[in-house]
Amino acid sequence: MSSSLSLPRRPLVVGHGVAALRLRQAARELGILAHSAEGEPAALVARARALGCDALHPGEAAPSRQLALARACREAGLRFLGQGTTLLAAMADEASMRRLVQEAGLPLAAEASGPLVSVALLADGAGRMVHLAPRQTLPDGASLAPLPWLTPERSAYLGRLAGQAVAALGATGLVEARFRVFDNAVGFDSLVPGPNGEEALDESLFGLDPLVAQWRLWGGERLGERQSRLTARGHARLWRLILPEEARLDGGPGVRLDAAGSGEEARLVVWGRRPEDLQGRARRVLTALLGEEGARAHWPLE
């Protein structure tokens, strides 16, 4: 990422629903007017040209799709706001990625060797980076951060390993490193481009919006955050929900609902200073949105 880059004026975000909505909102905070669309790479490039867009953001697309988008942009001479094609190709190929991180000195995870833990990082083109709170997707589909079964020392260790992988591979912007953690063993699983839809966890814990930060980084800005000043405060959980049409959120502290429209995925994040604060708040909000029976599928009410 070159420091001579500038923020795009009118980018096209790939995606729809709440994923595209949050990226457009973050862009708007920086004075950027972003559009969004779905489709095949060639059609998206054509759509970007028709809208007068000067760049394409791949949204929450998987590495293989981002690779196709990056190649289409390169062929068309359109700026791609994402990782380079070489890194995306490695991200899309598990064997290649494992070989690269092993060469970088990271321990590899054996198959099914413990819970999958994710660590998001922000990195600029000058080697500065910060890692955020380790998180986990639970069996019920919710995502949780921080993880009560990880000690602060182990969390910091995961952050350092994630940073080692990002530095070795030259990734920039918003990236997610995934590890398998079992007892005292930690092994690298994968590295994927961000965002992934769980950024609201970090917003609630750190007061930092990774999506705004990513736009700034793609604009060539240096990372302004410092690891020593980032401390997670409280506990947060995020749900991806399809809400009934009559669902309404009555507000209250420590609650946020991102929704783009009826019938589409909504993302609910609830946080509290203590785990018991989160628990009581989550039960109240889930019951209000889904009723007691619906809420039980996402959090036991007993």
Over the stretch 89-124, which tens digit does the pLDDT of each residue have?
999 999 999 999 999 999 998 865 789 999 999 999
Residue 251 pLDDT:
83
* Low-confidence residues of the chain: pLDDT under 50: 2-3, 301-302
Percent over 70 (pLDDT), the chain: 97
For residues 34 and 25, give the distance between their C-alpha atoms in angstroms, rounded to a whole number: 8
- pTM score, whole prediction: 0.93
Over the stretch 274-292, which tens digit does the pLDDT of each residue have?
999 999 999 999 999 999 8
- Specify the CATH class of 11-233 in words: alpha beta
Residue 3 pLDDT:
47
Q: Which long-range contacts (CB under 8 A, 24 or more apart) does 241-249 make?
A: 241/265, 241/266, 241/267, 241/268, 241/289, 241/290, 241/298, 242/266, 243/289, 243/290, 244/290, 247/289, 247/290, 248/288, 248/289, 249/285, 249/288, 249/289
For residues 211 and 280, give the distance between their C-alpha atoms in angstroms, rounded to a whole number: 29
For the chain, the structural domain boundaries read 11-233, 234-302
Residue 300 pLDDT:
64
Residue 96 pLDDT:
94
For residues 165 and 285, give the distance between their C-alpha atoms in angstroms, rounded to a whole number: 38
